[in-house]
Structure 1
Amino acid sequence: MAETEWIDLGPVETLRTQPLQQLMARRTRIALTYKDGQFSAISGVCNHVGGPLGDGDLDGDYVVCPWHYWKFHCRTGLGEPGYEGDAVPVHDVEIRDDHVYVNLTPRTRRTRIRHAPHPLARTPQREDGPIRVAGISTTAMTASYPRYSTSDALLEIAIDHAKETLACETQLIRLNDLAFRACEGFYSKSARACTWPCSITQMDPMDQLDRVYEAFVHWADVILVATPIRWGAASSLYYNSSCQLL
């Protein structure tokens, strides 16, 4: 390979202070690792949606993408066991005069496993039939000790009216009955990190929020959301009302 393809990343003393870091070598993003006294470099671009691998974590020998936790071996670029077909390019590294050099021409190619699309990713298609109304209850309560909820009661009245009086198809989903992981804020890392379908639902087959997505995107014509005024603390409406009494 041509000598001009080698780029000086910086002094060894500086670069070995971090086990994993994202670096730019000209226009090439590099995930540089320092483990067991050895530097290694793989592409800094994740196979999934392009997350910055060097900004993630090092889990043993695997670089973990900070966006959706895909893993690639820090020396071979191969995906974690069972997903070796998903691989990122590997770049050769050399130490010269106490500096770390990386070859911009990768030693291996990027390869991708063809993943079947998630069922939610299908194109929405409305079948013929009556208007469909989905009711979503966001009320949280202890299942063993249920309490009366005015917002839930109003939602049930609305759903019953839609079904009995307006002849609509209806369904009622209570978030309190579902098992799901809370949003992990991938959007705060990058707009591109927030995907459809939700990456959490794609990664976790036990995530039950898919029922809400199915209702919102593929089923309902009308969505009714019932939410309490307060979420464990006085709401702004409650606070502003109390201020008027002072």
Structure 2
Amino acid sequence: MNFIKVASLSEFPEDSSKIVQLKNSKVVLFHFNGKITAIGNACLHKGGPLGLGCVENKYDGTYVTCPWHGWEYNIETGKAPFDYKDQQSVYQIKIDGDAILISEEPIVKAKKATHDLSALEDLIHLKYQTTASSLNILGISTTNMNDNLARFSTSEDALEKALAYASEKYGAQTKMIKLRQLKFRHCEGYYSQHMNACTWPCSITEMNPKDGMTQLYRDMVLWADVVLLATPIRWGNPSSLYYKMAERLNTVQNQITLKKKILIKNKVAAFIITGGQDNIQSVAGQLMWFFTDLGFIFPPFSFVGWSRGWTAEDMDKNVMQFKKSDYIKRTTEEMVDNCIETLSQIKNINSVKIIAPKPHRQDSLSADIENPDMNI
């Protein structure tokens, strides 16, 4: 077996890692526990750079954790911990004076185990439940409150009125998602590591199909024809729960950047915005910007707002006035009418001809610059 010099021992201190190029692949050297070892740099999951991962003594040895999604490998044997069958490629190391030599070919080849993703099959294969005649309306309530201490929510009440009207007048199938009840993890910012680190389905969902966002992905992407989102105004913005959800929807928008694949097809969105004070238009603008970036279409007059103005600090009267108002009932019904009329117009749009004018990887001014740490 041929060996190639890839580093100098004097320049490779203890407790460090080093990524080296070997023919057409990258290998990561480890110098831990007084020993130098080498395994393939590309994580078997999505190709993350193991050489940038954290190395720790744990379980039955020393393991590196992929910085993209947390997969682990023993830095000597290349094996995954516990009963996982994933095997990273392993290279033989020789020391010749100050030279670190590595075998041209791995002495143990990489093998990615088969992982059971059957629970996510509908998301992986995008098994849409919408049809030419379906009328599925999804309500998303983003208000955050303690369900063990029940109280009245103006935004959620208006959303309930809208869904009831859609069901009664149009025979629509309706669902209500209350984000506060989903118990989902925050986005962990894998996109900031590499565009390919943000996956569909979301890697958090892949790791835990019972994560609350899995239901929202199914209902919003696969089931809904119309999405009605309701939010209170919080310091001039949508609720924090809305932003928590929006960050996890990067996995939907990023498919455009990665694969020119639009997941949201022929769907309508509209918004209910309530607050004790103003800033309705600003909140609506933020919601519209984000939802159009996902691919949603808006009807004319696509939001309903309730506000009592800047000086209305007597919040005890907000709910009292809201409950007496005929305005909310009328405008939520008119918004639903507009949504369903718009939906009837866009149902038969050939979505294949819809192109998202969004940035792709090759559009970057640094697209031609190689990142020596990355595998792709």
TM-score (norm 1): 0.86
Deviation at 1:157, TM superposition (A): 1.7
Matching of residue 145 in structure 1 with residue 149 in structure 2: yes
In 1, the alpha carbon distance for the partners of 2:237 and 2:221 equals: 30
Runs (4 or more) in structure 1 with deviation over 6 Å come to none
Deviation at 1:102, TM superposition (A): 2.1
Deviates more, 1:121-130 or 1:108-117: 121-130
- Three-state SS of the structure 1 residue aligned to 2:20 is strand
Q: 1:15 to 1:127 in 2, by over 3 A?
A: same
Deviates more, 1:110-119 or 1:20-29: 20-29
Q: Is the 2:5–2:99 contact (alpha carbons within 8 Å) kept by the matching residues of 1?
A: no
- 1:87 aligns to what? 87
In 2, the alpha carbon distance for the partners of 1:215 and 1:108 equals: 44
Equivalent pairs: percent with the same residue?
Answer: 34
Matched to 1:113, the amino acid is A
The 5 Å alignment of 1:174-189 reads: 174-189=178-193
Q: Deviations over 1:79-107 (max 9, x none)?
A: 22211x31111111222222322223211
Matched to 2:64, the amino acid is V
- Three-state SS of the structure 2 residue aligned to 1:227 is strand
- 1:70 aligns to what? 71
- 1:202 aligns to what? 206
- Structure 1 regions of 5+ residues with no counterpart? none
- Three-state SS of the structure 2 residue aligned to 1:143 is coil
Please point out which of 172, 190, 194 is paired with 2:194. Answer: 190
Matching of residue 124 in structure 1 with residue 127 in structure 2: yes
In 2, the alpha carbon distance for the partners of 1:7 and 1:227 equals: 60
In 2, the alpha carbon distance for the partners of 1:126 and 1:142 equals: 33
Matched to 2:5, the amino acid is I
Q: Is the 1:130–1:167 contact (alpha carbons within 8 Å) kept by the matching residues of 2?
A: no
Matched to 1:74, the amino acid is I
- Three-state SS of the structure 1 residue aligned to 2:170 is coil
Matched to 1:28, the amino acid is S
Deviates more, 1:195-204 or 1:136-145: 136-145
- Structure 2 regions of 5+ residues with no counterpart? 239-277, 283-309, 311-376
- 1:41 aligns to what? 38
In 1, the alpha carbon distance for the partners of 2:182 and 2:126 equals: 25
Q: Is the 1:124–1:217 contact (alpha carbons within 8 Å) kept by the matching residues of 2?
A: no
RMSD after superposition: 2.5
Q: Is the 1:7–1:101 contact (alpha carbons within 8 Å) kept by the matching residues of 2?
A: yes
| Greater fraction of residues in helix | 2
Deviation at 1:134, TM superposition (A): 0.7
In 2, the alpha carbon distance for the partners of 1:75 and 1:149 equals: 57
Matched to 2:72, the amino acid is K
Q: 1:239 to 1:158 in 2, by over 3 A?
A: closer
TM-score (norm 2): 0.58
- Three-state SS of the structure 2 residue aligned to 1:67 is coil
- Three-state SS of the structure 2 residue aligned to 1:187 is helix
Q: Is the 1:88–1:111 contact (alpha carbons within 8 Å) kept by the matching residues of 2?
A: yes
Number of aligned residue pairs: give it: 236
